[in-house]
Amino acid sequence: MSTLYDKLGGQPALEQIVDELHKRIATDNTLNHFFAGTDMAKQRNHLVAFLSQIFEGPKQYGGRPMDKTHAGMKLQQQHFDAITKHLSEAMAVRGESAEDTSAALDRVSNLKGAILNK
């Protein structure tokens, strides 16, 4: 049985999805201030590796746990919702199926408590 990582198209697909997600975040005034001063190339690599891992691809994420990464940022439900909306749209731009997009969003949603530090 193929993994979600494989269904999406592996590493090249995740790189395209993350690039599209970052474009959307950059123009979203409710989110872009969280990334001010962030090395976006480094963030891109971390996010691609992280998504690879949670989508059952290669385990290459070496960053901090989600609760530590987002500690002190005061992220709220509306920020999480905006990111998941942008992720869904980024996947649609790439032509991912509704089923695979839903599966991806479910995996991300499972981390909401850690991301929002709640």
Centroid of chain to Cα 2: 21
Residues annotated in a binding site: 46, 70
Residue stretches of the annotated binding site for heme: 46, 70
- DSSP string over 34-92: GGTT--HHHHHHHHHHHHHHHTTS-----S--HHHHTTTS---HHHHHHHHHHHHHHHH
- Candidates 42, 61, 43; CA nearest to 52 is 61
